[in-house]
Structure 1
Amino acid sequence: MDQLIHKIVTAHVRGVGIETSLDPMPRLSGRIGDRQVLLKREDLQPVFSFKIRGALNKIASLPDEALARGVICASAGNHAQGVALAAAQRGVPATIVMPTTTPGIKVEAVKARGGNVVLHGDGFDDAYAEARRIEQETGATFIHPFDDPEVIAGQGTIGLEILRQHPGPIEAVFVAIGGGGLAAGVASVIRYLRPEIRIIGVEPVEAASMKASIEAGERVILNEVGLFADGVAVRQVGEETFRLCRELLDEVITVDTDAICAAIKDIFDDCRAVAEPAGAVALAGLKAYAARDGGEGGALIAVNSGANLNFDRLRHVAERAEIGEGREALLAVTIPERPGSYRRFISILGRRAVTEFNYRYADDRRAHIFVGVETKRAGEKAEIIAAIEAEGFPVVDMSDNEMAKLHARYMVGGRVAGGIPDEVLLRFQFPERPGALLRFLESLRPQWNITLFHYRNHGADHGRVLAGIQVPADEREAFDQALAALGYPYQDETANPAYRLFLDGGPETAERAPRAEAS
């Protein structure tokens, strides 16, 4: 331990690496009982990840003759960028072996930082084997992403900075675990200098290789890992990192995808920064700990380990964050297929915000609705379910149903055999305020049956709604007048080919003249 602490204290992580800030999170602090929450901002490093520290320290430890032969690593993520930039800073040639399946944006990022990219194999194991082969062939030094004393020491400098930046009471420090290098380094220095501080590792429940290894008393290899938090999706932790984490960590907490998404949102709300899933894992663990344990008066500190997020994943994060925060209930509700049922159901929800509403007519007996409802306090979901069931509507809670959240919510609907007589399809903009949906329903005559409804809150000041309504031809004028009085902007989509092909079900040659747009 003395040797490792000496390595951490004397580690070379400056140059392109920086001392990152320890930022307060006042909004989250208030939500968890006014317990002080601080976030170590490793996402502010030049490669947007803590990985630069270990790479810099490892390269700084190499003798001149090794530097002349260059360095090599295998990675498709943050380690690749860290090694490339650290090597470029010292003028050392760096070869980065990446799987051929690596997204082009990551390949270009490594090249831009001076790395010589070799694409090989379909996955990390293939790339790793090729890197080891090139190591033997060229004499380049292999830089392991986590299971190396110099890399561990480099990551451990984060712990030194935390203790210097916050000399006051600290209850616990939370660190994400992938291979274990970050956790091993931070835990080593904090346990040595401030043994009263709890050190807690955090892993995704779908990639909890360290937790499984500690429980088994030996390193285990997971059969598979979930890839949402790909930066910590490691099937087997390192030999040295396992030894250190088993000895130094107080516990390992696991968190699910929804909790990680909620933590990403918390970081954005307090810091206006967008963390990658792996970067938010530690904060998700902090929140789970705070909900479980009473405070001891010290700060709770989480390490935001990175911000290398593919932009197209933001949609998924936004969808799941409210559920992970316990602020949205997803319910499947069955109501009778008769006039007035919708209005009665929405009335049960009262002034609560409806975040999603999916329905498509199937038969004349009953309707199955997929609905999201905003909740603001613990226990409110149970109250909503009880109120709906008290009105005789069966309810199934879908909030923890992974298939429903990933797929079924987007597949509610479909074509109706033979089509629906007198159906018109309208695309609305609803104002995002409580009661907007109920006001819409109350504007319709009871005989104008709703046959399709799709709505999802997207965080704007208006909601996008697609509605199918049965309106006999001789009542169209009255229908138009009702919509004009309602005042919600809309567009008639009855002639839209997407409706005709996927939702209508009637003869595709039928004449369907669009009606005028209203606003």
Structure 2
Amino acid sequence: MQTDRTPPQPTAPATFAAAVAAAETALRPLFDPTPLQRNALLSDRYGADIWLKREDLTPVRSYKLRGALTAMRHALALRPGARFVCASAGNHAQGMAYACREFGAQGTIFMPVTTPQQKIQKTRMFGGDAVRIELVGDYFDHSLRAAQAMAQDSGSVFLSPFDDPDVILGQATVAHEILDQAVIAPDLIVLPVGGGGLAAGVTRLFAERAPATRVALVEPMGGASLHAALAAGHPVTLPAVDNFVDGAAVARIGDMPFAALSRFTADDLVLPPEDRICATMLEMLNVEGIVLEPAGALAIDALRDLGERGRLAGRQVVCLCSGGNFDFQRLPEVRERAQRHAGVKKYFILRLPQRPGALREFLNLLGPDDDIARFEYLKKSARNFGSVLIGIETTHPGNIAALNDRLEQAGMDWRDITGDVVLSEFLI
């Protein structure tokens, strides 16, 4: 809904903390603070006092709303009636759409043609008549170039998802809330990192208001742009990115966020594998009833590594759950990847002799808890042998090891392709 909350021209507060406090105050008429909740399951597991900051419970189910509202509010104070443009395939698009409708501004959102309809529809729902969605290109970079070109040609304000001081300021309001909600400042805060806007704002505020709090930064293993930038001493573009953790898999960290985060070292980073993140998502859904997108589960998943490093026991820890915009059509993929990580699902290429009884011989090698989840002939035309793709599900990783031993003893010609990225993507 359109409101009359467009503010007067702002004055610069004396400190970053004061600016964040003012930004947080301005957000309060728009949505309530997100909960800071103690999690008994994780606390018991790690012998620590684990709290979850539930940014998945904002009106758009992610923290991105904070930066979009703050940056748009400041832009409209300087340029009343300004139009806005952004490029995003997810949470930033929904945040900008919500902000446009709230402030009565007009915006254009560029999305890749490949964006799932669920995300497009949610963006339209939040923006209503205030936004226009343009589907351009197969990849985000194509949409980004189109958005930047439109902003330059039309004089619209380009609303960056992370490389903007007002966006960083808005994201820092989550840290202001944490410090207001916590009885004492936490010993450790665990933050997901994508483009870096959230981490830049939160770490800066904690440095001013709670300098004793330690920080752990978490990037998906397949999109560790901050890790690469720290190694190089400056932002670099990753040659390839695994887009599964789509809310944090960024090929290049923002210049402004990197300037704020360059004081950290590789020891402050955790790089969890994507398949393990899936296991964390399923546990949070099935045990705690918390719906998290892959990026939203990063901080919780990193507790596994931090616990092994001895950084959790006896400490008060806050994990920032950055978003819950999960498309349940992806649930089978999440379950599959979680099973692979747990070692209870494997894929084999098996070469079977083309004679009666050959398949029965293989089936007799399966254990009582082994189940065939996939069976497909890949080549039937060979005179003597045929190749078969077989997926096996079981109840314990030790069952797979035992099956491997039986296959070897029986002289079977087989190959485990579960970890072969090229073959897995092509065949499975």
TM-score range, shorter chain: 0.7 to 0.9
The correspondence for 1:21, drawn from 35, 41, 48, is 35
1:258 aligned to 275, 286, 301, which one?
275
Q: What is the percentage of aligned positions where both structures have the same residue?
A: 30
Distance 2:349 2:114 in 1: 42
Deviation per residue, 1:318-373 (Å, 9 max, x gap): 1112333x252526497996698567634xx46x5647474769899999764232
Q: Which moved more, 1:283-292 or 1:197-206?
A: 283-292
Distance 1:95 1:192, change over 3 A: same
Alignment of 1:494-513 (within 5 A): none
Whether 2:50 is the aligned partner of 1:37: answer: yes
* Kept after mapping to 2: 8 A contact 1:74/1:131: yes
Q: For the Cα contact (< 8 Å) 2:87–2:140, is it kept in 1?
A: yes
Of 85, 92, 101, which aligns to 1:79? 92
- Conserved in 2, the CA contact under 8 Å of 1:176 and 1:282? yes
Q: Distance in 1 between matches of 2:179 and 2:210?
A: 8
Q: Distance in 1 between matches of 2:35 and 2:167?
A: 21
Shift of 1:151: 0.9
1:451 aligned partner: none
Aligned to 1:345: 365
Q: Give the C-alpha shift of residue 403 in structure 1.
A: 4.7
Q: Letter of the aligned partner of 2:201 in structure 1?
A: G
Q: Is residue 57–residue 154 contact of structure 1 (8 Å, CA) maintained in 2? A: yes
Per-residue deviation, residues 361-393 of structure 1 (Å, max 9, x unmatched): 9899999764232227xxx46864686479556
- Say whether the 8 Å CA contact 1:23–1:40 is kept in structure 2: yes
Indicate whether 1:187 and 2:199 are aligned.
no
Question: 5 Å matches for 1:445-460?
Answer: none
Q: Does 1:319 align with 2:336?
A: yes
* Residue pair 1:121, 1:127 contacting (<8 A) in 2 also: yes
- 2:420 aligns with 401
Q: Which amino acid aligns with 2:70?
A: N
Kept after mapping to 1: 8 A contact 2:347/2:392: yes
Any idea what SS the aligned residue of 2:85 has? strand
* CA deviation vs aligned residue, 1:221-273 (integer Å, no higher than 9, x gap): 12232221222232211111001111257622222220121121122134313
Match of 1:511 in 2: none
Local SS of the residue matching 1:61: helix
TM-score, scaled relative to structure 1: 0.67
Q: Which piece of structure 1 moves more, 328-337 or 200-209?
A: 328-337
Query: 1: CA distance between counterparts of 2:73 and 2:319?
Result: 28
SS in 2 for 1:73: strand
Q: CA deviation at 1:42?
A: 1.1
Q: Does 1:374 align with 2:395?
A: yes
Alignment of 1:58-73 (within 5 A): 58-62=71-75, 64=77, 66-73=79-86
Q: How does 1:154-233 map to 2 (within 5 A)?
A: 154-168=170-184, 170-233=186-249
- Partner secondary structure for residue 62 of structure 1: helix
> Which whole-Å CA distance do the structure 1 matches of 2:292 and 2:17 have between them?
29
- CA 1:391–1:132 in 2, change beyond 3 Å: closer, same or farther? closer
Give the aligned partner of residue 131 of structure 2.
Answer: 116
How many angstroms apart in 2 are the aligned matches of 1:291 and 1:322?
Answer: 22
Correspondence list, 1:396-475, <5 A:
398-403=417-422, 405-406=424-425, 408=427, 410=428
Per the alignment, in what secondary structure is the counterpart of residue 146 of structure 1? Answer: coil
In structure 2, C-alpha distance between the alignment counterparts of 1:238 and 1:357, rounded to whole Å? 43
**CA 1:327 to 1:264, structure 2 compared with 1: closer, same or farther past 3 Å?**
same
Question: 1: distance between equivalents of 2:359 and 2:245?
Answer: 46
User: 1:102 & 1:47 partners in 2: Cα distance?
Assistant: 17
Is residue 17 of structure 2 the alignment partner of residue 5 of structure 1?
yes
Tell me which residue corresponds to 1:280. Answer: 297
Cα deviation code 1:185-210 (max 9, x no counterpart): 12222233333333122222221111
In structure 2, relative to structure 1, the CA distance for the partners of 1:70 and 1:165 (3 Å cut) is: same
2:258 is matched with which residue?
Answer: 242
Partner secondary structure for residue 52 of structure 2: strand
Deviation for aligned residue 1:291: 3.7
Q: How far apart are 1:63 and its partner, in Å?
A: 5.0
> Which AA in structure 1 matches 2:40?
P
Q: CA deviation at 1:306?
A: 1.5
On the 8 A contact 1:16/1:86 being kept in 2, the answer is no
Worse overlay, 326-335 or 2-11 = 326-335
Contact kept in structure 2, 1:71 and 1:143, CA below 8 Å: yes
Give the conservation status (yes or no) of the 8 Å contact 2:349–2:417.
no
Alpha carbons of 1:399 and 1:26: their partners in 2 closer, same or farther (altered >3 Å)? farther
Tell me: CA distance 1:16–1:42, structure 2 relative to 1, closer, same or farther (3 Å): same
For residue 247 of structure 1, give the secondary structure of its aligned residue in structure 2. coil
Please state if 1:307 is matched with 2:324: yes
Tell me the CA shift for residue 147 of structure 1.
1.1
Aligned-residue offset at 1:108? 3.2
Q: What SS does structure 2 have at the residue aligned with 1:213?
A: helix
- How much has 1:38 moved relative to structure 2? 2.9
Report the Cα distance in structure 2 between the residues aligned to 1:389 and 1:169, rounded to whole angstroms: 56
Inter-CA distance 218–207: structure 2 relative to 1 (3 Å threshold):
same
How many Å separate the matches in 2 of 1:183 and 1:406? 33
CA contact (8 A) 2:275 2:337 kept: yes
Bigger shift: residues 357-366 or 206-215: 357-366
CA–CA distance in structure 2, aligned partners of residues 85 and 287 of structure 1: 35
Q: Which has the higher contact order (CA 8 A, sep 6+)?
A: 2
Give the 3 Å change call, closer, same or farther, for CA 200–344 of structure 1 in structure 2. same
CA contact (8 A) 2:185 2:210 kept: no
Moved more, 86-95 or 103-112: 103-112
Distance change (3 Å), C-alpha of 1:77 and 1:327:
same
TM-score, length of structure 2 as denominator length: 0.80
Give the 3 Å change call, closer, same or farther, for CA 99–373 of structure 1 in structure 2. closer
Supply the distance in 2 between the matched residues of 1:331 and 1:91 (Cα, whole angstroms).
Answer: 53
Conserved? CA contact 2:370–2:399, under 8 Å: no
Unmatched tracts of structure 1, length 5 or more: 411-519
Q: Which amino acid aligns with 1:190?
A: F
Letter in 1 for 2:32: I
Deviates more, 1:391-400 or 1:120-129: 391-400
